[in-house]
Amino acid sequence: MSNKLYGFKSPNPVKVRIALEELGLEYDYQHVDLYKKENRRPEFLALNPRGKVPVLRLGGLTICESNASLTYLGERYGNLWPTVGDSDHGRALDLLFLEGSAFQDLAGVFFFNKVVLPRIGKPPDKERGEKASLKLEPIFKVLLNQLEDKDYLFGGYTLVDCAYGAWLPYLELDEFPALVSWRERIMGRPSWSLASQM
């Protein structure tokens, strides 16, 4: 098999695995245990010198950025992706850049507090979480405006939903019922149960 994903059970690798599942592409999955520093081994650093996951290999192509993987998959296969040149295509790129440049850093605070710190025996950083919550509110408004009364960001499910969806389980969304419903729809898809497994 020529397709391979190197990942870990954290949001950026999970989003790419969800995308592969949604697109129905065959691939091998290689778990890279970050706690055991398998990402620092020479054979992995040969794939990505930054030592980060995910790494997606499609034939002879290697992609090391999660949203680049989503964009490439969408534009290569044409599924779960707005038609290139349409206004929705521009909007999809805009939302992916927002996710990569701002959303994931803030959402990552919650992942770190809820998953990583307990794993290493440390308490959550409540102050950092509170600051992240405040900074997330404007982004939540962007997402709510995009969702309106739709099931997903563009009506039907797209790879942009993959990008945000991987972070949603870790966020405090009780004040945003529409985002809670969106999260439930994403997590109810078969791709989620497959991709979120180790």
Q: Tell me which DSSP letter residue 33 carries.
A: -
Tokens found for residue 86: 């349409």
Separation between Cα atoms, residue 52 and residue 91, nearest integer Å = 27
pLDDT > 70 in the chain, percent: 97
Model confidence at 197: pLDDT above 90:
no
Q: How far is CA 192 from the centre of its chain?
A: 11
Q: Give residue 196's pLDDT.
A: 66
Residue 88: closest CA among 19, 152, 175, 184 = 152
Q: How confident is the model at residue 20 (pLDDT cuts 50, 70, 90)?
A: very high
Q: Is the pTM of this model over 0.85?
A: yes
User: Mean pLDDT, to the nearest integer, of 122-148?
Assistant: 97
pLDDT tens-digit readout, 37-96: 999 999 999 999 999 999 999 989 999 999 999 999 999 998 899 988 899 999 999 999
pLDDT value of residue 76: 95
Q: Are the CB atoms for 53 and 13 separated by under 8 Å?
A: yes
pLDDT the model gives residue 198? 44
List the single range of 78-82, 109-113, 139-143 with lowest mean pLDDT: 78-82
The residues near 106 (Cβ < 8 Å, ≥ 6 apart) are 132, 135, 136, 139
- Quick one: what percent of the chain has pLDDT higher than 90? 91
State both tokens at 104: 């994931």
pLDDT digits (tens, 9 = 90+) for 41-55: 999 999 999 999 999
pLDDT per position as a tens digit, 114-126 = 999 999 999 999 9
What is the distance, to the nearest Å, from the Cα of residue 115 to the centroid of all Cα atoms in its chain? 16
| Ordered structural domains, the chain, with CATH | 3-77 (3.40.30.10), 87-189 (1.20.1050.10)
106 within 8 A of 132, measured Cβ to Cβ = yes
What pLDDT shows up at residue 1? 55
